[in-house]
Amino acid sequence: MSVIKKCLFPAAGYGTRFLPATKSMPKEMLPIVTKPLIQYGVEEAMDAGISEIAIVTGRGKRAIEDHFDISYELEHQIAGSDKEELLQSTRDIMERCIFSYTRQVEMKGLGHAILVGETLIGREPFAVVLADDYCITEGDGVLTQMVKLYEKYQCSIVAIEEVPEDETYRYGVIEGDLEEDNIYRVRNMVEKPAPEDAPSNLAIIGRYILSADIFDVIRNTPPGKNGEMQITDALQLQAQQGKVIGYRFTGRRFDCGSVDGFIEATNFTYQSQSG
Ligand code: UTP
């Protein structure tokens, strides 16, 4: 059995890029064709052998909890019809996973959201999925690939991908030494650098494995860009001790936190399902 048993989903952000759609609906519930983004993330975690799902929510995010619960009235209504099949995937998830939730009361950044999740994780290494990064792979899912890597390196791991140089300002960007094919020992990380300040074009995307001490590290990290607690700044402290691996995963990522990425993912998925 995998040593990574829990996956944290920070899902408290406002999702302002999707207003007005996200005024009262969580961004994580936006569907790619018929399945909400967060369900793809939970399925990826399950494929990696993880069954404890911890979600950091906030105001207006109750639909996430309802999604991973029984809807008696609806299920009664469609019982015996061919529509029953459409709920099979959520039933499977509910049978195999345990969900726990906590709320981030003030949105003080991703690092802060992860710290809020400490109460659900405890003191053990864990995975983090940002559900708006929707990843498609042909073989193992991205988290499965990363869990395998954790068994070897036993330290924090960030998923990275090459981005166009004029887009580095949207990501945490790493500088590192190649250890093996697609695997970097991270030396330095910069949050949202301008292209001229970026140490590389290798950007961190929304999949992490974090070592058990990360909460202490976040607590000791001063607020960074925009006064927010950035996970990149905390990881930078671990990187200085050689304890962060950057992994260029196999697969394709869609940035579904942006309208363009969301539409692209929708078209791609629809075409692959219907063709
Ligand atoms: P984003 O940077 O995409 O921010 O957060 P956002 O608020 O969700 O969306 P926009 O930019 O306003 O459109 C990255 C991830 O971190 C979570 C978000 O839910 C998202 O999964 N997050 C961010 C929190 O949980 N809490 C925060 O305080 C900030």
Domain coordinates in residue numbering, the chain: 6-274
3-state SS assignment for residue 169: helix
Query: Can you give the pLDDT at residue 1?
Result: 61
Tokens coding 25: 């609906």
CB of 204 within 6 A of ligand 1: the answer is no
Query: Can you give the pLDDT at residue 275?
Result: 72
Q: Whose CA is nearest to atom 1 of ligand 1?
A: 13
Closest atom, ligand 1, to C-alpha of 10: 25
Q: Whose CA is nearest to atom 4 of ligand 1?
A: 13
- Give per-residue pLDDT as tens, 1-48: 679 999 999 999 999 999 999 999 999 999 999 999 999 999 999 999
Fold of 6-274: Spore Coat Polysaccharide Biosynthesis Protein SpsA; Chain A (3.90.550)
Terminal-residue alpha carbon distance, the chain: 36
Once rounded to an integer, what is the mean pLDDT over residues 53-63?
94
Report, in angstroms and rounded to the nearest whole number, the Rg of the chain calculated over CA atoms. 18
Q: Whose CA is nearest to atom 22 of ligand 1?
A: 13
Query: Can you give the pLDDT at residue 261?
Result: 97
Once rounded to an integer, what is the mean pLDDT over residues 187-197?
92
- Give per-residue pLDDT as tens, 196-223: 999 999 999 999 999 999 999 999 998 8
Compute, in angstroms, the gap from residue 40 CA to the centroid of ligand 1.
17
Give the type of residue at 171: Y
The rounded distance, in Å, linking the Cα atoms of 68 and 86 is 14
Tokens coding 187: 């030396």
Compute, in angstroms, the gap from residue 115 CA to the centroid of ligand 1.
14
- Give per-residue pLDDT as tens, 125-174: 999 999 999 999 999 999 999 999 999 999 999 999 999 999 999 999 99
The rounded distance, in Å, linking the Cα atoms of 143 and 2 is 12
- Give per-residue pLDDT as tens, 6-15: 999 999 999 9
Instruction: State phi, psi for 161 to the nearest 5 degrees.
Output: -145, 155
Residues across the chain: 275
